Amino acid sequence: MNLLRFIILNSFAFILAGIGIAMILMPVDIFIIVFKYMIAIGCLFNAAGIFLKWKKKKIIMDILILRNLNEIRPDTFRKYRGELCWELVYHYIFYKLRKTEKHRILSREEWEKTREKVFKRR
């Protein structure tokens, strides 16, 4: 189960790593080889950054699951909202708590609050 959780929650990192490796292996003209390696290195560094945050993500997930076992408290999620690949973690926590309906409601509320801040008329 932990391996499956690792694969699902780091799927974006696997995609970036695949793109980076594909860029390195792809034969191209000598004139664009520099750009090819710049893109590959960027993808691989970002993938490594996501993989290195796995322990932190696991700790955050365990904390949030324990805090929201009985009742969903949106304030506990706001603290970690800006973390890398947060949406996947967010979906996983609500799936684990078997409250996916509540996730839809909270996501809609968050979107409306953000929209009000961004598009607020003066």
Q: What is the pLDDT of residue 17?
A: 92
For the chain, domain boundaries: 1-52, 54-122
The string of DSSP letters for 42-100 reads: HHHHHHHHHHHTHHHHHHHHHHHHHHTSSS--HHHHHTTTTSTTHHHHHHHHHHHTT-H
Residue with the two structure tokens 């603290």: 79
Pairwise CA distance, residues 63 & 71, whole Å: 14
Provide the pLDDT for residue 118.
60
pLDDT at 112 (0 to 100): 67
pLDDT of residue 41: 92
pLDDT of residue 21: 92
Q: What CA–CA distance (Å, rounded) separates 51 from 57?
A: 10
Q: Which residues of the chain have pLDDT under 50?
A: 122
Closest CA to 61 of 89, 28, 88: 89
The pLDDT of residue 9 is 79
